[in-house]
Structure formats: C-alpha cells, structure tokens
C-alpha cells in the first residue's frame, strides 16, 4: 500500500473527527467558514490592517463563499431523504438485473458518498490553495495580525479539515478496492468492487491495522452463537499506547460557534467518550412534515404495553369517542409528549433490569449508551409493544394509516438528553474505570445470553436445526432469545461481536 505504521497511525488519528458522523464534520466546517467570512467582512481590526487586507478580501471571500455553498450542498445530499432515493436510483448501474438488498444498497450509498466527498475535496483543495496563497503572499505592516489572526486561527484550521477529509477518502477508496486509491488526483477509471463480506458504512474506516484488511467485515458465520466469544482485553504492556490515547483530553473545536438546534453533541472531555455514540441529530424538514400530520391525526396509541385484546378494545373506545374526535392538534401533541416522557422512563427501567445495572449507575450508564442508541431502543420498544403510533385520516376520509413519528421522537430525545439526562451526570461520565466497569457488566450479561441462546437452539426440533444453516437459525431467533433492545445495548458496548 506504500504506507508505514506511523503514517497509518497518523491517518487514523486524523479521521477521529468523523467518528461523530459526516453531518457533525460538515456542520463544524460550515461554522468555520461562516466565522472566517464574517471576520473578513466585519473589518473588526485596525485601519492599517484594513488597508493591508484590501487586495486579498475579494479572492478570499469568493473562495470561502464557494466552499460555504458546497458544504451546504453536501449536507443536503447526506440527508436520508435525499441519499436513499438516489442510492436506489443508481442501484441498477452497479447491479444490473439484481434485486435490491440492504448490503448492496449500502455499497451504492457508500460509493455515492465517496464520489460526493471526493468532488468536495478536490474543489476545496483548489479553494484553500487560493486562500493560502492570497494570505501568505500578502504584505502586512502588522505581521503578528497576519500570522495569528489569519494564518493560525483561520487558515490553518481550514487546511486541517481538508487534510482530514483526504485521510477519510483514502480509507474509503481502499474499502472500495479502487485502483491507486491513495492518489485522489488520479484520472483512472472509477471502478469500485463489491465484496459480500464487507460492511459498507462509515464505521469501517476506524479500524486499527486497517490496511491489513482489519476493517469491519461480516464473517462467514456472523452469528455470535456458538463460536464467537468475548475478546479478552490485551495485556497491559501491549496496551500502553492505546491507554495513553484513551486518557488524552480531546482537542477543543477551533471555533465556539453555536451548533444547530437540531444537533446535540453529548460527549465527555476525553477521546474515549467523545465519538458518534454521544451524538444525535434530527432532520428539520422531516420533523416539520411529521408535526403537520397532527392536523390529520384522529387517534394515538398511548399505552405502556398491553395484550392484543385490550388494545383492540381501547382502540374501539378511543376511535368512537367524541372527546377524542374534537381534540385539537395541540391537545393531542401535549398528550403525546407526556406519553413519551413516561415511555423513556419505562425503556430505561426495562433495560436496567435486563442488563443488571445498579440503580446508582443509571444516569452514567445511559450517558454512555448515548442518545442515538437510546432512540433505537425506544423505537424498538414502541414497535414491540405496539404503541406510540399516530392514526392519520386520509384527505378523503376513507382511509386511516398509522405510523411512528421518528424525527419527532429524535427531537424529544435530544431535548430529554439536554434537560434531564446530562444534568444528572457529573464528572463520573469522564471516569474511565467506571466506564470499563459498565462494559464488564454488559459483557457478562452478553455471555449469559449467548449461553442461554445455545441451549434454546439445542432444544429446537432436529428437523428445524437441519433445515437451514446455524447462523440463519440464530438470526431468525436472535431477537426472541436475547431481546431486541438488549441486542442494541450489546452492540454498543460489546464491540465487533454481533451483526444484526
């Protein structure tokens, strides 16, 4: 590959910024660009510096504005409502005559993301080179202003982000098996190669020994049963470098711009508790579409779990209730918000009971589960107990459909995390020993669940066990045997053990 271990370690450190996701990176980039543009146009510097800035203001402003537009474009592309339809549309290009499946669709989405990011990188490199040349070549009477305010505080952070994106693209290209993947200026034909066993998601780029092929893959028997076991921690002498990295305080963001209201970074202060697990964001456009549906909502499922007969009776009563039919969208929304608040507590109690988390560790445990995984847990419980649905009447009044408002729930979890969870967590969230204790509790429960699942598998009739491969049997029964919400917790804490 032409890359040594030191270069690979440096590259891995560079892509750390993407552990919080594409959206976090580009929102941060957008904040940097906006701050730079505002500073250049504000004139908040001495008269002499204003005079010295005149020759470079236009070229710098033009390139920054171009980058700002391109960043907004790529953020729009990365929204699920845009990238998913485009991936489906492009699917036949890469897999002609093959029915759509999730693995291949992930591949197409990964390819499209790579292409968009590469175009952004090439244009960005060109723009930042112009900005750099304009500033470096300019003559300033006050050289300290040029170095500190323009180069160190504004130019260098922008160049660093381009360098981070370059590292990401090289790793993405390697996963796609592109010829000469490390040369991003290449004019060679773009021929990505699909491999059945590879997971085509952002998480795959963060593996150590990446170029030895140790990125995320689906192994021939992806089930955790019965072969897979929890990996033992490496010996202390072999783990000193990693522990040093874990104990390193994360670098502060170069700007203090306020993050968007639909985005929450609930990270701790160290590298090991500041990654994508601690981040949540919701799609503003989808959220608005969902809230607009409240005008057509005639009923809501707001129970905490009941058998089918009770649910059916409750639905008949509520659907025929004059009080329900005359409730305003605002009243319905208030009821739903109260329900969600109670349901979040319900989810927490069930997870703690199943995993065996002591009550005094509740808040730090859910802090480390993180808001995005908690959303997945809540959504899983809602569908399992058949609650949280809105019943929407069609415009002609002839049909009623029901759905769970996903973006609406994400927004409430974002608010819940900010106003309830984070205020109950103190410095214990930055305690690495306590975090490892929580991991040990989850790993032990995972081992017990694995052993129980093996027994349940052996208890199946022989004809069922012989009718299909063992991994397929486990996939079909995994949610039943281990608990669908528990699996989400295991996937969060027990790394590289479960693929569902």
Which pLDDT score is estimated for 321?
Answer: 41
Which pLDDT score is estimated for 462?
Answer: 83
* pLDDT band (50, 70, 90) for residue 365: very high
For Cα atoms 62, 157, 25, give the angle at the middle one, nearest 5 degrees: 90
Which pLDDT score is estimated for 353?
Answer: 92
State the CB neighbour count (10 A cutoff) for residue 105. 18
- pLDDT higher than 90, residue 139: yes
* Contact assessment for residue 274 and residue 357, using Cβ atoms and an 8 Å cutoff: no
Query: How much of the chain is in helix, strand and coil states, percent to nearest 5?
Result: 70, 5, 30
What value does the mean pLDDT take over residues 323-328? Answer: 62
* Contact assessment for residue 33 and residue 67, using Cβ atoms and an 8 Å cutoff: yes
Ranking 24-33, 207-216, 262-271, 279-288 by mean pLDDT, the lowest is 207-216
- pLDDT higher than 60, residue 251: no
**φ, ψ of residue 182 in degrees (nearest 5):** -85, -10
State the Cα–Cα distance between residues 302 and 222, nearest whole angstrom.
37
pTM of the model: 0.54
What value does the mean pLDDT take over residues 42-47? Answer: 84
* pLDDT band (50, 70, 90) for residue 249: low
* Contact assessment for residue 170 and residue 186, using Cβ atoms and an 8 Å cutoff: no
Q: How does pLDDT run across 297-307, given as a tens digit for each residue? A: 988 988 876 44
What value does the mean pLDDT take over residues 469-476? Answer: 75
Q: How does pLDDT run across 192-240, given as a tens digit for each residue? A: 999 877 888 888 888 777 887 666 554 333 334 433 333 333 434 444 4
What value does the mean pLDDT take over residues 405-416? Answer: 94
Instruction: Give the three-state DSSP class for 403.
Output: strand
State the CB neighbour count (10 A cutoff) for residue 34. 15
Q: Which two tokens stand for residue 451?
A: 């052993």
Cα of 412 vs its chain's centroid, Å: 17
Which pLDDT score is estimated for 68?
Answer: 93
Higher pLDDT, 136 or 324: 136
* Contact assessment for residue 483 and residue 352, using Cβ atoms and an 8 Å cutoff: no
| HSE-CB for 147 with a 13 A CA cutoff | 4
Q: Which two tokens stand for residue 45?
A: 């510097």
Burial of 25: CB neighbours in 10 Å, binned 0-12, 13-18, 19+: buried
Higher pLDDT, 254 or 172: 172
- For residue 271, give the DSSP letter: G
Which pLDDT score is estimated for 159?
Answer: 94
Which pLDDT score is estimated for 55?
Answer: 93
* Contact assessment for residue 432 and residue 398, using Cβ atoms and an 8 Å cutoff: no
Which pLDDT score is estimated for 341?
Answer: 93
Which pLDDT score is estimated for 215?
Answer: 63
Which pLDDT score is estimated for 325?
Answer: 53
């Amino acid at each position: 590959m032409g890359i040594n271990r030191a270069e690979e370690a440096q590259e891995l450190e560079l892509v750390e910024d993407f552990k919080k996701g594409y959206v976090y990176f580009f929102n941060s980039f957008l904040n940097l660009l906006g701050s730079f543009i505002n500073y250049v146009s504000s004139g908040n510097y001495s008269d002499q510096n204003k005079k010295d800035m005149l020759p470079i203001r236009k070229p710098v402003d033009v390139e920054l504005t171009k980058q700002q537009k391109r960043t907004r474009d790529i953020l729009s592309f990365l929204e699920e409502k845009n990238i998913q339809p485009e991936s489906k549309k492009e699917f036949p290009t890469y897999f002609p005559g093959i029915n759509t499946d999730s693995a291949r669709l992930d591949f197409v989405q990964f390819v499209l993301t790579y292409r968009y990011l590469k175009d952004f990188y090439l244009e960005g490199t060109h723009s930042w080179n112009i900005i750099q040349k304009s500033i470096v070549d300019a003559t300033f009477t006050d050289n300290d202003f040029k170095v500190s305010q323009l180069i160190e505080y504004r130019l260098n952070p922008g160049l660093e982000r381009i360098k981070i994106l370059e590292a990401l693209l090289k790793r993405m290209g390697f996963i796609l098996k592109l010829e000469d993947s490390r040369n991003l200026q290449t004019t060679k034909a773009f021929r990505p190669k699909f491999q059945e066993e590879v997971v085509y998601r952002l998480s795959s780029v963060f593996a150590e020994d990446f170029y030895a092929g140790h990125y995320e893959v689906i192994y021939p028997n992806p089930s955790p049963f019965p072969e897979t076991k929890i990996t033992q921690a490496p010996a202390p002498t072999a783990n000193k470098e990693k522990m040093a990295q874990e104990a390193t305080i994360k670098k502060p963001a170069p700007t203090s711009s306020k993050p968007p209201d639909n985005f929450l970074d609930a990270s701790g202060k160290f590298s090991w508790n500041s990654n994508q697990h601690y981040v949540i964001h919701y799609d503003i456009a989808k959220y608005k579409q969902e809230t607009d549906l409240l005008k057509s909502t005639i009923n809501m499922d707001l129970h905490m779990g009941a058998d089918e007969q009770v649910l059916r009776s409750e639905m008949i009563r509520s659907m025929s209730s004059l009080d329900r039919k005359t409730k305003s969208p605002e009243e319905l929304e208030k009821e739903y918000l109260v329900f969600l608040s109670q349901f979040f507590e319900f989810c927490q109690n069930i997870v703690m009971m199943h995993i065996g988390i002591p009550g005094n560790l509740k808040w730090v445990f859910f802090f480390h589960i993180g808001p995005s995984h908690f959303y997945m847990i809540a959504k899983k419980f809602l569908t399992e107990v058949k609650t949280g649905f809105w019943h929407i009447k069609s415009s002609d009044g002839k049909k009623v459909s029901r759905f769970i408002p996903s973006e609406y729930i994400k927004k409430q979890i974002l608010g819940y995390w900010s106003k309830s969870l984070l205020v109950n967590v103190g410095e214990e969230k930055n305690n690495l020993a306590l975090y490892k204790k929580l991991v040990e509790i989850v790993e032990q429960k995972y081992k017990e669940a694995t052993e129980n699942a093996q027994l349940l598998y052996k208890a199946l009739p022989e004809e069922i066990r012989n009718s299909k491969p063992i991994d397929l049997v486990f996939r079909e029964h995994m949610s039943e045997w281990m608990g669908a919400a528990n699996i989400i917790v295991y996937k969060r804490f027990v790394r590289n053990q479960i693929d569902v």
